[in-house]
Structure 1
Amino acid sequence: MRGTLRIFICLLLPIAVLAAGAPDPARAQQQEKRIALVVGNGAYAKSPLATTANDAGLIAQTLQAAGFDVVGARDLDGDTLRKSFRDFIQKAQASGPGTVAMVYLAGYGVQLAGENYFIPVDSNITRDTDIPTEALRISDYARQLAAIPLKANIVVLDAARAQPFIEGGQPIASGLALVEPDPNMLIAFNAAPGTVAPQEPGPYGIYAQSLAEMIRTGGLPLPEVFDRVRLRVNEASKGAQVPWNEQKISTPFSFFDRGPDAPPPEASAAQVAAIRSKPIRDLGVQDAYAAALERDTLPAYEEFLAAYPNDPMSKRVMAIVAARREAITWRRTYRTDTPEAYWSYLRRYPRGPHAGDARRRLAILTAPAEPPPTFAMIDYDVPPPPPEEVVYVDRPVLYFSDPDFGFAPPPPPPVYYLPPPPPDFVVLEPPLPVVGLFVLPQPIFVPIPVFVSPPVYVAPPPNNIIYNNIHNTTVINTVINRPPAPAAGVGAGAGPGNLAPAVAGRANPAGAAVPQAVTQRAALIQQGKAPMPPSATIQPTARPATPPGTPANVAPNARPSALPGALPGTPPGTTPNAPGTAPNAAPQTKLPAANTLPVPGSHGGPPAPPAGAAGTPPGGKPLPTATAPTAPGVTPPAHPGAPTTAAPGTTPPPHPGAPTAVAPTT
């Protein structure tokens, strides 16, 4: 008997050891690092852009919530922009193979001879020949990222706009050039190749807001995020804008996961798959238009035209087809890069968008403008355009909102293609006023749904306040670092006198860190060794009637949300750190909910106290904001103006300028 028991234990022990050592599937997955570079250029001396800096701030905030280590800035000149890119590529190289790198650029972009360029705010472009020297060629940096063994690369160009720089001489094609992504890369444009997005008054652009919405939805594979962005932008712009993306990423990636308590979708996955797999000719016209737009391929659009040639949407789809066919033809021409190729393009599109590019290349190749009699056309990937298409590409700029074409507004997409947006993400309030040069505007934070969170295998970035403090049962937590008071005789606006607090390290703890190159540039400006960029005088993001010197990281109307997965024993109103993260070194301050008193110095609130006023000693350094509570659940203010948290069921006595956060009753 004893021998039998010994044999049984010997057999059972290896099984127990294996079971104990079997890793959890989520934990067994390699930790994924996420890094991002976010730039919003809007303060151009010629034709400033109203939304691009705000858009960059919104995307930076959204990516931080998704676990990205974000560096971002606005209104960068050429030197600083190039250095920021180099720093980011070095960061990607040092980050390791389990890294997802994302670049988001908002501003003016142009194409020249098949290459896309991003325009710095200090560029001096008047002719086509100025573009290669004054602007950044995107492919130079995309190729460097693609050469690094990363998990995935995502490059988003929110820059397809009607350019104001080249007014005479040899014209250039509008919008951005159709490109092919490198392996392991996704490239996305805010408007289809060869087209431009309309000007927008703000506070945010449709594309950036739609991208932030789809990232926050959670549970969407990367291609579906951008497919839904295309549908949402087309719906919100009434057809005036059709985003584009192409990707060669085989590794699964999702910005957020959805928890088991997430609301069920409007249609089951089986129903959606059955509808989406149908040929377009077997769908109703509303579903057919949504299907063609979601697939976003030339065959899908042509299938729609064949099925519904007389529908009001056919003219709009024909314009999309015309732009895509011309873009494909030019890409094939440019990649061949021979006189025969450029003669072939000019034979198809003698007045096309890239006719000027073709003639420039012929001159560089020392080939005659006219082909010889023995000339033979090259083979293209697409057939030549029918006559009814040519009208859409024989013009300097192609707008899908052009009133000359009489386009009908598109129908809303069915819910199984695109669910309605969250109610609190339909109309976003303007961001808080920017403080200091280069610093991104901080959007008024809209809490992520409680059932959405970054995947558990994502390595939390260092000092990422948003990542650690998205959710809270009562209020939204953030870190408030009040900048030192300006020296005597120095104003509080954006200028050399207050650059140090604005750009040193993580100037806005709730926002993106400032790139090292931007910090160095600001220091040179402060020392008078570099010229002041246009962003020092052009502030398209500042709101009128806002007191100067408003802290950029105070959200007076931050909305409450609920904490998913709260740890047992966690007191109400506190936020535990995410698993595997270090505690925040800086003290936490509770911000008021939407119905509490406004923060001093904020929009709609009383003026901020000057340096040396109550709660701020001379010299501008704030007093500590954390003291031991005097009663269970009650945290008294450390100084006048500090927020107060009341015990359950109690109402704290308000004092002038003190925002109040009340814990939930039990």
Structure 2
Amino acid sequence: MRRLLALFFMVAVLHILPSCAGVDTIAVKTIPDNAKVFKDETFMCNSPCDIPFKFSGTTGEIYNITLEKEGYKKQSYGMDRSQLFDKYFAGNYIPGSKFGSGNTFVFTYSLEKNPEPDLTAKQVSPAPVILKPAHVPATPFKQELSRRVALVIGNSAYKTSPLPNPVNDARDIAASLPSLGFEVMLVQNAGLREMEEAINSFSKKAHDAVAFFFFAGHGLQLDGENYLVPIDADMDDEGDVRYESVSAGRVMDNLRYADSNLNIVVLDACRDNPFARSFRSKTRGLARLSAPRGSIIAFSTAPGDVAADGAGRNSPYATAFIRHVANPTLSVESFFKEVAKDVSAQTRDQQRPWVSSDFLGDFSFGH
């Protein structure tokens, strides 16, 4: 009888635990870190990171977690309610969830390296190899045939060190794009969850399109990686950065997996770090970031420098961007050069925008 009661109790708890908890947080850690984390084949983040888990109540429901890192074996795991149940009653959880009214459960995975090639194995003469040119698209990039999608984010209403202009910048840049053929998503004063959801939605629309991402607000660097700060960020020290902000690398990864025709990422996010007093690191601005193939990354100022927010309605960078974006005579490379010239002149050479590009096609914002 006792066993039957215990079994009934376990089944009852398994049934009600997720529904009472709301949306739980799964904190994924890997050894080593910086592994790509997928949930049901959808890219979520780079470890260590948090992902939301909401169970619908369906019996036997399982989420599939996949971890990928170059040089290591691909690993997949099934995540079900029984695993949360075990951790809950073992006390291995943190009350509260960043995604809802549930709890936070930490799962740590050790990655296994790919085996080294056996150089002592018997050598076999390889079959003839036909060398082909490096991959080239079947047809040249034709901007008139490509859809254009944009995500524009402006964050001003920070609890710590609010900024007057980013929302204005985002609104004005977003307003300049529809006439140039862009389908625009505008997000203003976004918290962490809203930013993450907007980026995921944007990357789904970016397939086979020209994808333009613009962020204005606070940004900072940590260990050579850049982070975009939501308005609800609460960071007491560097350890909070990865969990309270959005990695710029996540934006690039999402767009890469979206298989877009061209990615243009603009970061006007190099203001002074509002959390610098509590950080041991005294680095300023954003870190240098090399553009992946088929991408252009533009910073409103040089790596390690700080950008001006602007005394008028817009930042110097946004002002120059809006002035030149519809010019049909400017290639995308010439466009960013003209923007840089304007910003340098407006700030008396105190702010010099910087661009990294690995795009070999032809594109113009102004057609």
Cα distance between partner residues in 2 of 1:39 and 1:149: 22
Query: In the TM superposition, what is the alpha-carbon distance from 1:144 to its structure 2 partner?
Result: 2.1
Residue of structure 1 in register with 2:333 after alignment: 223
Q: How does 1:121-160 map to 2 (within 5 A)?
A: 121-160=231-270
1:69 aligns with 2:69: no
Residue of structure 1 in register with 2:80 after alignment: none
Residue 145 of structure 2 aligns to a residue in which SS?
coil
Cα distance between partner residues in 2 of 1:141 and 1:107: 16
Cα distance between partner residues in 2 of 1:52 and 1:240: 20
Amino acid in structure 2 at the alignment position of 1:224: S
Amino acid in structure 2 at the alignment position of 1:74: Q
Q: How does 1:479-498 map to 2 (within 5 A)?
A: none
User: Aligned to 2:153, which of 39, 48, 53?
Assistant: 39
- The 8 Å contact of residues 111 and 117 in structure 1, kept in 2 or not, is answered as yes
Structure 2 regions of 5+ residues with no counterpart? 1-141
Give deviations 1:136-183, integer Å, cap 9, x for gaps.
001012022123332210000010111111303512411000011110
- The 8 Å contact of residues 287 and 304 in structure 2, kept in 1 or not, is answered as yes
Amino acid in structure 2 at the alignment position of 1:187: I
Q: How does 1:468-617 map to 2 (within 5 A)?
A: none
Residue of structure 2 in register with 1:111 after alignment: 221
Cα distance between partner residues in 2 of 1:216 and 1:141: 25
TM-score by length of 2: 0.60
Q: 1:125 to 1:69 in 2, by over 3 A?
A: same
Residue 217 of structure 2 aligns to a residue in which SS?
strand
Residue of structure 2 in register with 1:253 after alignment: 363
TM-score by length of 1: 0.33
- The 8 Å contact of residues 42 and 50 in structure 1, kept in 2 or not, is answered as yes
Residue 131 of structure 1 aligns to a residue in which SS?
helix
Residue of structure 1 in register with 2:297 after alignment: 187
1:208 aligns with 2:318: yes
Residue of structure 2 in register with 1:173 after alignment: 283
User: Aligned to 1:90, which of 192, 199, 204?
Assistant: 204
- The 8 Å contact of residues 143 and 182 in structure 1, kept in 2 or not, is answered as no
- The 8 Å contact of residues 128 and 166 in structure 1, kept in 2 or not, is answered as no
User: Aligned to 1:60, which of 132, 153, 174?
Assistant: 174
Q: What is the aligned length?
A: 226
- The 8 Å contact of residues 126 and 167 in structure 1, kept in 2 or not, is answered as no
CA RMSD of aligned residues (A): 1.5
- Which fold has the larger relative contact order, with Cα–Cα distance below 8 Å and residues 6 or more apart in sequence? 1
Residue 277 of structure 2 aligns to a residue in which SS?
coil
Residue 153 of structure 1 aligns to a residue in which SS?
strand
User: Aligned to 1:51, which of 165, 175, 179?
Assistant: 165
Cα distance between partner residues in 2 of 1:231 and 1:237: 10
Higher strand share: 2
Cα distance between partner residues in 2 of 1:193 and 1:29: 30
Cα distance between partner residues in 1 of 2:294 and 2:181: 20
- The 8 Å contact of residues 219 and 271 in structure 2, kept in 1 or not, is answered as yes
Cα distance between partner residues in 1 of 2:306 and 2:274: 12
Q: 1:141 to 1:199 in 2, by over 3 A?
A: closer
- The 8 Å contact of residues 200 and 254 in structure 2, kept in 1 or not, is answered as no
Residue 85 of structure 1 aligns to a residue in which SS?
helix
User: Aligned to 1:163, which of 273, 277, 281?
Assistant: 273
Query: In the TM superposition, what is the alpha-carbon distance from 1:29 to its structure 2 partner?
Result: 8.0
- The 8 Å contact of residues 316 and 346 in structure 2, kept in 1 or not, is answered as yes
- Please say which structure displays the higher CA radius of gyration: 1
Cα distance between partner residues in 2 of 1:140 and 1:80: 15
Residue 163 of structure 1 aligns to a residue in which SS?
coil
Residue of structure 1 in register with 2:192 after alignment: 78
Give deviations 1:447-493, integer Å, cap 9, x for gaps.
xxxxxxxx4xxxxxxxxxxxxxxxxxxxxxxxxxxxxxxxxxxxxxx
Q: 1:227 to 1:29 in 2, by over 3 A?
A: closer
Cα distance between partner residues in 2 of 1:168 and 1:46: 12
- The 8 Å contact of residues 85 and 141 in structure 1, kept in 2 or not, is answered as yes
Residue 240 of structure 1 aligns to a residue in which SS?
coil
Give deviations 1:312-371, integer Å, cap 9, x for gaps.
xxxxxxxxxxxxxxxxxxxxxxxxxxxxxxxxxxxxxxxxxxxxxxxxxxxxxxxxxxxx
Query: In the TM superposition, what is the alpha-carbon distance from 1:44 to its structure 2 partner?
Result: 0.4
Structure 1 regions of 5+ residues with no counterpart? 1-27, 257-454, 456-666
Residue 203 of structure 1 aligns to a residue in which SS?
coil
- The 8 Å contact of residues 39 and 56 in structure 1, kept in 2 or not, is answered as yes
Cα distance between partner residues in 2 of 1:242 and 1:120: 25
- The 8 Å contact of residues 143 and 362 in structure 2, kept in 1 or not, is answered as no
Matched-pair identity in %: 33
- The 8 Å contact of residues 206 and 259 in structure 2, kept in 1 or not, is answered as no
Query: In the TM superposition, what is the alpha-carbon distance from 1:30 to its structure 2 partner?
Result: 6.3
Cα distance between partner residues in 2 of 1:216 and 1:230: 16
Which 4+ stretches in 1 moved above 6 angstroms?
Answer: none
Give deviations 1:267-323, integer Å, cap 9, x for gaps.
xxxxxxxxxxxxxxxxxxxxxxxxxxxxxxxxxxxxxxxxxxxxxxxxxxxxxxxxx
- The 8 Å contact of residues 215 and 255 in structure 1, kept in 2 or not, is answered as yes
- The 8 Å contact of residues 294 and 360 in structure 2, kept in 1 or not, is answered as yes
- The 8 Å contact of residues 198 and 240 in structure 1, kept in 2 or not, is answered as no
Cα distance between partner residues in 2 of 1:181 and 1:32: 21
1:242 aligns with 2:356: no
- The 8 Å contact of residues 227 and 247 in structure 2, kept in 1 or not, is answered as yes
Give deviations 1:390-440, integer Å, cap 9, x for gaps.
xxxxxxxxxxxxxxxxxxxxxxxxxxxxxxxxxxxxxxxxxxxxxxxxxxx
Residue 337 of structure 2 aligns to a residue in which SS?
helix
User: Aligned to 1:102, which of 212, 215, 218?
Assistant: 212
Cα distance between partner residues in 1 of 2:279 and 2:241: 13
